[in-house]
Structure 1
Amino acid sequence: MHGVAMDSQPLVSVVIATYNMGQYLPEAVNSVLGQNWDNLEVIVIDDGSKDDTQSRMAVFNRDNRVRYFQTENQGQPRAKNRGLKEARGDFIAFCDADDIWHPNKLTIQLPHFTDSTVGVVYSEVSYIDEHGETVDKPQPYDRHSGKVTNHLIIKNFIPFGTAVIRRACLEKNGYFDENLPMGIDWDLWLRYSVDWKFQYAPEKTYIYRIWSGQMSKNYRGRYDNAFLILNKFIDCYPEVLPKRMVARAWADMYVSRGMAIASAERTFKEPLRDVLNGLKADSLYWPAWRSLAKLMLGRV
């Protein structure tokens, strides 16, 4: 396995899976085509859109860097996997159809792959609203580089659209899990983290759009999936994590779900049960004690 000589500009395949995002999709595609990195292709997988996506994509018909595929509606994991299977590049990146890349994204991130043990390079994000106006949003997570499994098992700190991956990650550790409706990126990163280093580039290379038409704010569904993903990873890779990290991961999962429910639904009993389960998993996990105090004092 060799590092990458960046003066040669290896091909980067950019996968955009889209569903009814005609109003934003051309801007996403143009932001990728506007890179100061010439050797790239854009693979748009239209997952059964019912809007004007097809007619809006017509402007790219003569650009041989853009490949547009229409499929039946099969859901996000299958659409993304179709894009990955069409990709020809040694490196693969992602852009959500309602988001935008900075023009220097690839020139910032690709040089980090000169280390042949790095499988994923990700970066920082900025935010806009549905009208393209800047939104100030605090960054809730610490970012990590190197062997990140111990950090990743607690929080998915990688903004999905910022990630660029080595093709070898797909070949060695697989594609998105099509049985998961949500959380597919966390599942993928956990698997990749077993064999690859991750590298964080602190520059903001990706603009994330916050707007009303995004995937549902279904926090209960999100946590149901997160429990599944955590279980699956621990079952498949029992030797990777020290026991204390497994305990901490379960503690954080219960506490996070409990506090999300308490905050959204203003209930007490179910969140209390979750927080106590968290403390049962790891009695030394101080955020669980802090959450318990907040619950008891009614300060959620």
Structure 2
Amino acid sequence: MRPGGARHGRHRVSGRGLRRGARPRVRPLAQGARAPTPGLARRASRASVPQHGRGRSRPRRRALGRPRQRLAARPPRRHALGGAGSRRALLGAPRRPPGPDRLGLVLTPRAHERAPCDRAAAPAAAQAARPPARVPDGDRGREGTRARGPALLSVGVVIPTYNSAATVTAAIESALAQEPAPAHVVVVDDGSTDGTADALRPFAGRITGVTQTNRGPAAARNVGLARLSTDAVVFLDADDLLLPGALACRARLLASADTVWAHTDGWLEDPTLVRQRFSACYPPVDDRVEGWIFTGLLRRNFITADAVIARRDVVSGLGGFDETIRGTEDWELWLRLAVRHAVAHSAEPTFVYRARPRTLSSDRARMDRMRYLTLVTAHRLFPAAVREAGVPARRSVADAYNGLGDALAAEGRWREAAGYFAASLRLWPLQRGAWLRWLRGRAAAPSGP
């Protein structure tokens, strides 16, 4: 066969040697021959190609009939008076005495009263027919890690106090008035000199009182945390209050097995007794209050110690509060929790934060220095997490290094300040002022400790 022909049915059209206007020759293909690749025959008119077999269609296969489904035999009709048929029931024929069911009980034919039966005498088949207890599919393999419900979750309250005789009584009463009541309330007197011990005497037997020398609120909270054996812990300052239902609301947030800590909204009360939402006064920068909030916490602390509930074993495993930090020790602990665990949140107000003058948080210069120290500590503990937190978070930590460097430079310790400026530039190099101060610190003579 010549190459370049096209196959149509049982014929081959050859397109070689054709003149303009000539009709192609049609030759029948030999039996079993294979048509070559189509060439010039595509240009040939279809009118010259025999339409053998083009208009015909293959006969369809008849669909095989499906076998008819046999109808299941109907169960025998049971009469209302009992028996397998109505005739037996109407004639009053005695029925066959019933045997013991799979639960080991015998049904009497008349009154259908349950009579106890010895399980040992029951047939083995009846005992084997008892279905096993079914475990839901969602709980398979997790029977040992199921979360405890809010009613079963024991909560302890830790109240540190220092010269708060006028307000600690109301704080303790707000904790004891919770429903359900807390399993344990620990009040730690951090070396008060204003008669706080006398204010705690009426609560003897209802709370656990601990007295120590003045070591700061972080040390007082750690002492109270060590006295607890509950599932969860709530921290309450001596000048603040818990609203009714606060512990129940927070316990519901810890109902999930994956939830380690949670926080709620509350009220901020100024010295004139005017209350505002705490979230309105201290909102998060990125509007994220639940989930993974480590990035937002690096830029601003929007969670107070009164708003948090956490699992006691997790907080104890992290070492509790950092006792070298005073004023922002709660923020430093939240950062260590947020880098490891997601947080749950509820918009329901559960506490009253009472802002009063002459408190530790009212000293602005001291609070700024503690804020810088908190961010620097977080960067030293989790450098990779801070780098991956984004530019705004890195700039916030860089500003903290600059703040500590400026404090050291103000004391004339330029050599030490240069180290903080260098750390700030590594986080955010586009700082002209930090470069100049770093160069000055490098050129300065070493100073004393």
Q: Same fold (TM over 0.5)?
A: yes
Structure 1 residue aligned with 2:236? 95
CA distance in 2, matches of 1:199, 1:116: 12
* Structure 2 residue aligned with 1:251: 395
In the TM superposition, what are the counterparts of 1:275-286 in structure 2 within 5 Å?
A: 281=428
TM-score relative to the length of structure 1 = 0.78
**Against the structure 1 CA distance between its residues 104 and 144, is the aligned structure 2 distance closer, same or farther, given a 3 Å change threshold?**
same
Whole-angstrom CA distance in 1 between matches of 2:295 and 2:383? 13
Number of equivalenced pairs: 262
1:25-64 paired onto structure 2 within 5 Å: 25-63=168-206
- Counterpart amino acid of 1:32? A
1:257–1:209 CA distance, 2 compared to 1 (3 A): farther
> Is the 8 Å Cα contact of residues 251 and 282 (structure 1) preserved in structure 2?
no
Structure 2 unaligned blocks of 5 or more: 1-143, 403-420, 431-449
Q: 2:275 aligns with which of 120, 135, 154?
A: 135
Please state how far the C-alpha of 1:40 moved relative to its aligned partner: 2.1
**Does the CA contact (< 8 Å) of 1:3 and 1:114 recur in 2?**
no
Distance in 1 (alpha carbons) for counterparts of 2:146 and 2:238: 31
| Aligned partner of 1:238 among 372, 383, 386 | 383
Partner-residue secondary structure (3-state), 2:250: helix
Equivalent of residue 155 in structure 1, options 291, 294, 300: 300
> Helix, strand or coil for the counterpart of 1:110?
helix
Q: Which whole-Å CA distance do the structure 2 matches of 1:102 and 1:173 have between them?
A: 28
Task: Provide the rounded CA distance (Å) in 2 between the counterparts of 1:155 and 1:252.
Answer: 9
User: Kindly, what percent of the aligned residue pairs are identical?
Assistant: 24
AA paired with 1:151? G
The answer to whether the Cα contact below 8 Å between 2:233 and 2:311 also exists between their aligned partners in 1 is: yes
**CA distance in structure 1 between the partners assigned to 2:246 and 2:146 by the alignment:** 19
Distance of 1:129 and 1:227 partners within structure 2: 26
Whole-Å separation in 1 of the counterparts to 2:150 and 2:355:
36
Alignment counterpart, residue 346 of structure 2, candidates 201, 206, 221: 201
1:155-234 map, 5 Å: 155-234=300-379
The 1:130/1:87 distance shift into structure 2, 3 A limit, reads: farther
Please, which moves more after superposition, 44-53 or 136-145?
136-145
- Determine which structure has more spread, i.e. the larger CA radius of gyration: 2
Q: Distance in 2 between matches of 1:45 and 1:135?
A: 28
In structure 2, C-alpha distance between the alignment counterparts of 1:3 and 1:222, rounded to whole Å: 42
Deviation at 1:36, TM superposition (A): 1.0
Alignment match of 2:262 (pick from 121, 125, 129) = 121
TM-score by length of 2: 0.54
Q: Contact 1:124–1:159 (CA<8 Å) still a contact in 2?
A: no
State the distance in 2 between where 1:58 and 1:188 align.
Answer: 32
- Opposite residue 140 of structure 1, the aligned amino acid is Y
Distance across 1 between alignment mates of 2:344 and 2:400: 26
Change (3 A) 1:199 1:216: closer
- The 3-state SS of whatever aligns with 1:55 is helix
Q: Deviation digits for residues 93-118 of structure 1, max 9, x if unmatched?
A: 01110010011001111111122222
Q: SS of the residue aligned with 1:45?
A: strand
Kept in 1: contact 2:165–2:194 (CA 8 A): yes
1:104 and 2:245 aligned: yes
Contact 2:264-2:346 within 8 A present in 1 as well: yes
Q: Is the 1:34–1:103 Cα contact (8 Å) retained in structure 2?
A: yes
Instruction: State the secondary structure of the residue aligned to 2:201.
Output: helix
Unaligned runs of 5+ in 1: 259-273, 284-300
Q: Structure 1 residue runs of 4+, over 4 Å off?
A: 253-258
What letter matches 1:251 in structure 2? Answer: R
Please state how far the C-alpha of 1:33 moved relative to its aligned partner: 0.5
Report the alpha carbon displacement of residue 144 of structure 1 after superposing the two structures with TM.
Answer: 1.3
1:20 and 2:160 correspond: no
Q: CA deviation at 1:87?
A: 1.4
CA apart distance, 1:62: 3.3
